[in-house]
């Protein structure tokens, strides 16, 4: 059975399957249309982190000093350097030209 409800200001008619009309008390049909609910989402921006990368540092060792250069740099006299050379057993590395006078490159030529 298919029925349709007609609503007007003064009369109501219900049509049945047979096509007959029925009159009666007026009916007011109220249909509330509710809009869909909305939700506000607050999206925080992604957290950022700062990474500081230091530039690479090249570390070079200072050239090692010879025994004569260390004695000279520390302010010792030539006499002290000569005595140190004798006490160390007269190593050849202290006397570059093998003339018997050590540390001439640091203290100057002594012969």
Q: Assess if residue 21 is contained within a domain.
A: no
Of residues 82 and 44, which shows the higher confidence score?
82
Angle 82-79-72 (CA atoms, 0-180°, nearest 5)? Answer: 80
Asked whether the beta carbons of 78 and 104 are under 8 A apart, the reply is no
Q: Which of 29-33, 55-59, 90-94 has the least mean pLDDT?
A: 29-33
The tally of domains found in the chain comes to 1
Mean pLDDT of 3-12: 47
Residues with Cβ within 8 Å of residue 95, at least 6 apart in sequence: 85, 101, 102, 103, 104
Q: How far apart are CA 10 and CA 7, in angstroms?
A: 8
Q: Assess if residue 91 is contained within a domain.
A: yes
Q: What pLDDT score does 63 carry? A: 78
Structural domain boundaries enclosing 78 = 67-107
Q: What pLDDT score does 90 carry? A: 93
Distance separating the N- and C-terminal Cα atoms of the chain: 138
């Amino acid at each position: 059975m298919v029925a349709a409800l007609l609503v007007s200001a003064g009369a109501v008619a219900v049509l049945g399957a047979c096509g007959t009309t029925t009159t009666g008390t007026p009916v007011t049909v109220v249909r509330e249309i509710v809009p869909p609910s909305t939700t506000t989402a607050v999206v925080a921006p992604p957290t950022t982190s700062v990474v500081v990368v230091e530039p690479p540092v090249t570390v070079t060792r200072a050239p090692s000093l010879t025994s004569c250069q260390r004695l000279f740099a520390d302010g010792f006299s030539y006499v002290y350097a000569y005595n140190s050379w004798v006490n160390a057993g007269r190593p050849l590395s202290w006397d570059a030209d093998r003339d018997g006078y050590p540390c001439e490159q640091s203290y100057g030529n002594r012969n």
